Structure 1
């Protein structure tokens, strides 16, 4: 095993193979990039507080605080321990399995093909062009997934989920009050989308032509649909959107207690990315069904 204690800005290169990466920091930033190069590199450009312990053993590269374990990470609420920060950038082989844990820090993971798991207490996470399975668990941090082609799992208390150009086999998300905005990539494979929320809003934009079996339910929220082929039921209280679009190869299921649900249609041709996030409950165009 090789080990380094990083107390000041420093760069390290690792000649031994790296197949797994584990990063755990408090405050600051983590940036992980996949590369076709066979070796891994680390740059700690800023550090304040206790040292970061860097270890390499049996193909696993770890960059973490010694007192911040992965097990029970989301319950680490030692406020005195939050008085630290680091800015960490890593380049790893594209097939590396990545685990990132952040408390009050932002994280970006891009261009990898292995399994990715992110845990965050606070701080936003951005996931870009990941082709392996992805799991993100947060307390209040937001997650944005761009052009992710692997299975995506998301769990949060109050963090928001935004999926842009999603084309993976499945998107599954659970939240209490965070909003969920899912934009599915046109021309992608049939996708299974399963979203569960309590009070947060849900907006799903389907490609043209759409191809999915749809079931959306809310106990007391509003619903809106941009698709005339779907049935919208319920005038007071519980409301439901059901039906089939196209051949029905994909599956879309959304459930909320008091949050709103909007099913939006992507235009047949579009050059600009979808970046309009609703400030309030998502609304469909005024000439569409709204209850």
Structure 2
């Protein structure tokens, strides 16, 4: 097993060849991960405070950590809250990325399979491909122009995503989730307690929805359903292509509408990142 390790307490730059996967775990601060045309991965650490940043490179996996991200939520009690780091990583195309933060902010741009997890931080995924997994407690996560499958989980944080997504799975307690779908979406399965679920679909795509709610409402295009009680099924638009949607809520509202002819969504811009 090939392994290199560093304990970094001041600004430093590392260049590594053969990186296939990156794992970042920060408490405070910021990370930016972008794709480069080269085959070398460049890690630039511009700020470290509170405790050294532990960096390791083992069998193609680069780890940059202020805490052990395994069972990350269970380790909250052990976090040293004064640990801060600001880093940027340039990775080759196709690199797998996992980033976990307590309240650090960050962005991943253009990578392959990506996982973003945060407690209270604000995170963004931009132009990612493949499987994108988003997990937040109360922080906000935005995914823009994603292509592939999306899995989102939230306690009270909001999740907003746009792109050519074929399969969407979401689970939220009180956080709101919003999806602006392009291309030909195939399936959506979303569950919520009190958070709202909003879906915008292309105008050439039909939708069939099966909705279950105790006291929430369903708005499908311009038709509103309330007092759902048991499962309610409805459909609108062309028979093919067609999005199959399944939603389950307690009191959260479900809205599935067609996008405007030339829709823009200011909430999914990069402002602030």
After TM superposition, the score normalised by the length of structure 2 is 0.89
* Matching residue of 2:170: 173
Shift of 1:213: 2.0
- 1:7 counterpart = 2:5: no
CA contact (8 A) 2:31 2:88 kept: yes
Please, which of 153, 178, 184 is the counterpart of residue 155 of structure 1?
153
The C-alpha deviation readout for 1:30-57, integer Å capped at 9, x for no partner, is 1111222100001111211101011112
2: CA distance between counterparts of 1:69 and 1:11? 22
Correspondence for 1:64: 65
2:250 is aligned with 1:257 = yes
Q: Could you say what the CA RMSD is over the residues aligned between the two structures, in angstroms?
A: 2.1
Hey, what's the Cα distance between the residues in 1 that align with 2:230 and 2:251?
Answer: 9
**1:274 aligns to what?**
265
Q: Following the alignment from structure 2 to structure 1, what is the Cα–Cα distance between the partners of residues 108 and 33?
A: 5
**Between 168-177 and 244-253, the greater mean CA deviation after superposition:** 244-253
Alignment counterpart, residue 146 of structure 1, candidates 133, 144, 152: 144
The alpha carbon displacement at 1:218 in A equals: 2.4
Post-superposition offset of 1:197: 0.4
Distance in 1 of aligned mates of 2:217 and 2:185: 27
For the 8 Å contact 1:139–1:156, the answer to whether it is kept is: yes
Q: SS in structure 1 opposite 2:68?
A: coil
Counterpart secondary structure, 1:147 = strand
CA contact (8 A) 1:155 1:174 kept: yes
1:165-212 per-position Cα deviation (integer Å, ceiling 9, x unaligned): x21221101010000111111xx1233111110001111111112223
Q: TM-score, structure 1 length as denominator? A: 0.84
Instruction: Report if the CA contact (8 A) 2:18-2:40 is conserved.
Output: yes
Q: How does 1:1-291 map to 2 (within 5 A)?
A: 1-14=3-16, 16-65=17-66, 68-78=67-77, 81-113=80-112, 115-164=113-162, 166-185=163-182, 188-227=183-222, 232-235=224-227, 240=232, 242-248=234-240, 249-267=242-260, 269-270=261-262, 272-275=263-266
Contact 2:219/2:225 (8 A) holds in 1: no
Distance 1:160 1:234, change over 3 A: closer
Distance 1:125 1:238 in 2: 36
